[in-house]
């Protein structure tokens, strides 16, 4: 039973345009969500997170939106740059403060075309 | 430089030959974890540790052992490796936030294991 789903294995976007990566979850206990970026031959690196008490968090070109009623979150990258080409993982945790266990999605490979 | 270091980065071995993948972090993090990444399956947690001498099973613990005798180290042990443990392994660590909330995990660069 996959609790965090990234239904698009890949996404191609033109440089300068918006990239939208989607993530759905089924566990209503999840209360903290993160996005990680992964380049080949490297470990995932933290990108941005959002708590369930918010519906939006922004950091530079990256914005994460959370729709709790739909159990859906999305990562927007504007404008997209070739260096953004990577695999993006959505992750979630439950249990409130002090919970460290993360459940990851399968990842979406983003290709930004110059 | 703050980092999580895994060794070896690559290993090819045979079924049944015990192996250990080491993981060390220099950030004084309380929490450490092991994941495996397989094609089409994303990252799945194997074991995690909330602090020294405190470990617990993740989603796919079968065939693995861990220990946390020191805060900085969290080795992953495969007592009798089998081909289905061929995978890309990641170690991660994070600190406990001031309010007790979770903090983003820092990942090592991965260890690619091939069990023949």
Using one digit for the tens of pLDDT, what is the confidence trace for A27-66?
Answer: 999 988 999 999 998 999 999 999 899 999 999 999 999 9
Distance from CA of A113 to the nearest CA of B (A): 24
Minimal Cβ distance to A98: which of B45, B100, B104: B100
Contact call for B102 and A98, based on CB within 8 A? yes
Would an 8 Å CB–CB cutoff place A93 in contact with chain B? yes
Tokens of A53: 């008490």
The pLDDT of B110-115, averaged and rounded, is 97
Would an 8 Å CB–CB cutoff place A43 in contact with chain B? yes
Residues with Cβ within 8 Å of A24's Cβ and at least 6 positions away in sequence, in order, are A4, A5, A6, A7, A70, A71, A72
Write down the pLDDT at residue B97.
Answer: 57
Contact call for B110 and A49, based on CB within 8 A? no
Contact call for B94 and A44, based on CB within 8 A? no
The pLDDT of A66-82, averaged and rounded, is 97
Distance from CA of A16 to the nearest CA of B (A): 28
**Percent helix, percent strand, percent coil in chain A, to nearest 5:** 5, 55, 40
Contact in structure between A13 and A111 (CB atoms under 8 Å): yes
Tokens of B76: 């992953």
The pLDDT of B29-57, averaged and rounded, is 92
Instruction: Using the predicted structure, report yes or no on whether residue B109 has a pLDDT greater than 50.
Output: yes
């Amino acid at each position: 039973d996959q609790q965090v789903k990234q239904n698009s294995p890949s996404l191609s976007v033109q440089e300068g345009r918006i990239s939208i990566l989607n993530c759905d979850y089924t566990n209503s206990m999840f209360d903290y969500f993160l996005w990680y970026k992964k380049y080949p031959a490297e470990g995932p690196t933290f990108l941005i997170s959002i708590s369930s008490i918010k519906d939006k968090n922004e950091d530079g070109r990256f914005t994460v939106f959370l729709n709790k009623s739909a159990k859906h979150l999305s990562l927007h990258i504007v404008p997209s740059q070739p260096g953004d080409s990577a695999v993006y993982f959505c992750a979630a945790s439950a249990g409130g403060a002090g919970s460290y266990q993360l459940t990851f999605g399968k990842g979406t490979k983003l290709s930004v075309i110059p | 430089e703050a980092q999580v270091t895994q060794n070896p980065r690559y290993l090819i071995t045979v079924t049944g030959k015990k192996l250990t993948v080491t993981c060390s972090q220099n950030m004084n993090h309380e929490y450490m974890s092991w994941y495996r990444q397989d094609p089409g399956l994303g990252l799945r947690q194997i074991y995690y540790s909330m602090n020294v001498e405190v470990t617990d099973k993740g989603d796919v613990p079968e065939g693995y052992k861990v220990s946390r005798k020191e805060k900085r180290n969290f080795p992953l042990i495969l007592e009798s490796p089998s081909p289905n443990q061929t995978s890309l392994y990641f170690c991660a660590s994070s600190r406990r936030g001031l309010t007790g909330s979770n903090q983003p995990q820092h990942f090592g660069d991965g260890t690619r294991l091939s069990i023949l």
